[in-house]
Every structure is written in structure tokens, then in C-alpha cells.
Amino acid sequence: MSQPLLMPKATAVWLVDNTALSFEQIAAFCTLHPLEVQGIADGDVAGGIMGASPIQNGQLTKEEIEKAEADPSYRLKLSDPKVHVPASKRKGPRYTPISRRNERPNAIKWLVRNHPELKDAQIMRLVGTTKSTIDSVRESTHWNAANLAAMDPVTLGLCSQIDLDMEVKRASKGSTGPDEAEEGTMLMTAEEALARSGSRGHVQGEDNEFAANDHRPEHAQDDFNADSVFAKLKSPKNDSDN
């Protein structure tokens, strides 16, 4: 099928009421169990659901139904859609199909065992669970803890491999330290600056303080002579005294 069937149970109700198709044919087309279709015919299942015509929805043709009615072994084929609706992007919490919800504790056990670096909020995003369920699985206090088996959430269809890899990458960054953008720019102390520029090796003793704060070009710093500087400072004073 190129597109999932719209409203499977409502379609099954309509087919039961308006066609001579067998339960197996309706079940195969609507992805239901034959006993569920029989329950619809008996009124035990989908009692409050109004039938939806697949002909009006453009998912079946009258000729296709007549062909299936003439041959009980024939399986209905979904018509090609006339309008293609683009898939909408997911917003908000991940929705977990009902058929997969029972597998969430197994996925949680797998994540806790194989990726202990993941935070509870990340596990909640991946499999659509709650913090209390995560805690119960981690502490083996879950009501079905004895029967839980660690299973990959990607294999179970609870999340994609891309989503899992992304969360693991985020958790790894958080465990090894903040990102460079969060770390910001750090000013070095005079001692650190001297340690980094120690390869020049000509600054020793009391001259360290001058070198740490000397922002002149290196060739000018190399010509620095403290005695000559002090001699020049003293000379004007001596001249004035004379």
C-alpha cells in the first residue's frame, strides 16, 4: 500500500454493512484480526463507530469491491491517492503506538544498561515514558521487573537511530565538561602568561613583573635594559640640582 488506510475500523464497519466481502478479506484490507471483524458484524466491537465509505475517501473503487466479492481469495488493493499530503513534522512529546507501549520498560532497561550517561529527561524523550517508570526499572521495583528483557528501542520502533545517537552525543558532551561556547573567554594570570612565553628564556627574577605587563613588540622587549632606563630618569633631576 502506498498510503495507510484512513479510519480502519470505520472502514471495516462500512464494508461489513454494505458489501458481501468475507471477514478475512475485510480484515486483510483494514489490518484487523478476522475475529475483530466478526465482532463488528455481531455488534460486540466498534458499536459506537459510524461507518466510513472507502469509495468516497478515494481509497477503493466499486469495481475493486465487486471483483473481491466474486473471488473470496482475492485481496483488496488500496487505490493510489489523488492528492499526496506531506507528512507533518512531530511537535511536542513523542507519541508511542498502543501496540508498542508494553515494550517501553524493556527499552528503558536497555538504555539504562547500555547508556548510563543518559539523563531521565533524554530517556523520556526517546521512548515517551515517565520519570517514575524509569526509576522503577532502574531500581528493579517495576511491577513486571522479573520478566523485563533489555531491548533496543530502535529495534522496537520507539525511536530512530538518529534520535538515539543525538541524545547519546549530548549526554557525552555533558559528562566530559561544558561546550567551548559555554566556557567563554578566560583571562590568564601574569604567571600563566609568563609560563606560555617562557620559551624566550631571557626574563628572570624581578624582571618577570615588567615582562608580564610589557605589551611592546618582542624585538623591543629584547632591547630592554633596566639600568639605562633608570639612568635616563635620574638625569633630568641631576641637571636641575646643578
Q: pLDDT digits over 162-179, tens only? A: 888 889 888 887 753 334
**pLDDT value at residue 95:** 56
In residues, how long is the chain? Answer: 242
The single-letter code of the amino acid at 118 is L
Q: What residues contact residue 56 under an 8 Å CB cut-off, 6+ apart?
A: none
Q: Give percent of the chain with pLDDT exceeding 90.
A: 20
CA separation (Å) from 15 to 38, 55, 60, 78, 148? 12, 10, 11, 14, 40
Q: pLDDT digits over 94-121, tens only? A: 555 555 667 889 999 999 999 999 999 9
Q: In terms of pLDDT, which residue wins out, 210 or 63?
A: 63
Where do the domains of the chain lie? Answer: 8-70, 98-182, 187-224
Contact status, residue 128 vs residue 96, Cβ threshold 8 Å: yes
> Predicted confidence band at 26 (pLDDT cuts at 50, 70, 90)?
very high
Burial class (CB in 10 A: 0-12, 13-18, 19+), 54: buried
Distance of CA 44 to the CA centre of its chain: 41
Q: What residues contact residue 77 under an 8 Å CB cut-off, 6+ apart?
A: 64
Distance in angstroms (rounded) separating the CA atoms of residues 239 and 36:
115
First to last CA, the chain: 110
> Predicted confidence band at 204 (pLDDT cuts at 50, 70, 90)?
very low
Q: What is the DSSP secondary structure assignment for residue 128, as one 8-state letter?
A: -
Distance in angstroms (rounded) separating the CA atoms of residues 147 and 142:
10
What the block records as the C-alpha cell of 30 is: 483494514
